[in-house]
Amino acid sequence: MNKETKKVLGTLELLLESCRCINIPGHEDGGYIYPFVWEESKQSRFNTFYFSLTQGWLKLTDTNVVRHNWQEMKYVISFERFNLNTEELKHKSTIVTDLFQLLKGNLQEFKTFNLKTSYNWENSVGLVVGKTTDGDSIGVCPTIYTETYIPQKQIYRTWQNQELDLDNLGENTKSVVSEIEAIISEFGAISLQGGDIDNYNCDHDYRIVYAAGKTKKSAVEKVLQSTGILEVSQFHSFYPDKQYFQEWQFVDEPDEQELMHQKYTQINQFFNQTFSNVMMYRFSFWKLENIYIIGETQSSDWIGIHINSDFVYNP
């Protein structure tokens, strides 16, 4: 670890000694805050695709495994209100077969992955990525339900959703994208409004989404955003609304509330004074949240915090 990284990490660790928890709505046990460092010299350049592989959230698998996963809709049938009949399921399966034929016939370096959606790998979904003859990459994956809503009053940030920019893609890529759009449009959405999973109400439209980019890592990041499992944002601050903090923190005494808010303010100052740009990467796996708020050092290392929190709210 170089001197700059070690110094910045040491400063952050001191700040976190007295600020180890954050209460995300619906997570009554509270989320735990840990220091986080990613060293480029040891772990390569940080990107969400490679990071997901290192964490075990993406696992390379056989193409047929993913095709069957999509055809049988193993993830979405875990929702209790899922009620497609046999003919509807058969029709969806045929559309998936057509989609796979299109992807395998038009994408090189064709790779398939299992994507974690919760604690249980049985409910995973399949993700596909490959390159067109133009050298662009395309990723395809079903959508994933996200339970937890994190308000701006708790973590103030600006979403960095990456829209599809066809102008920067090759002609063959545009043609493949057009065919993908036609097929997933025919697949449509399976509405689970008012349905429930694990006895909790939820609203979710299950569909197949895609993304394209100049590189594999950018295509995967974009498609993960489209699925709902990944949020990429520019971080600004914790608790910009002090009143909201006082209402939601499990601290009754005014003096203790003021002290706790000051600690978050110090963390905000650390990020804003240390880094020119601070990013938030949020990975949501149904009940489990993994949030990384990190900035890049001059040596291309990433330093910040990791919030790990479980949804335990009992309505």
Backbone dihedral angles phi then psi of residue 314, each to the nearest 5 degrees: -115, 100
Average pLDDT over residues 56-66: 95
Question: Listing from the earlier edge strand, what are the strands of the sheet with 58-60?
Answer: 58-60, 108-115, 125-131, 137-142, 208-213
Contact status, residue 151 vs residue 90, Cβ threshold 8 Å: no
Average pLDDT over residues 224-247: 91
Q: What integer pLDDT is reported at residue 104 of this predicted model?
A: 95
Q: What is the pLDDT of residues 250-306, one digit of tens each?
A: 566 777 778 888 999 999 999 999 999 999 999 998 888 999 999 999 999 999 999
Tokens of 202: 């939820």
Residue 197 pLDDT class (50, 70, 90 cuts): low
CA distance 292 to 36: 8
Average pLDDT over residues 129-150: 93
Tokens of 192: 């689970």
DSSP state of 229: S
Write 63-66 long-range contacts (CB < 8 A, 24+). 63/100, 63/104, 63/110, 63/112, 65/112, 65/114, 65/126, 66/112, 66/113, 66/114, 66/126, 66/127, 66/128
Identify the CA nearest to 26 among candidates 189, 238, 182, 248.
248
CA dihedral sign of residues 140, 128, 146, 38: negative
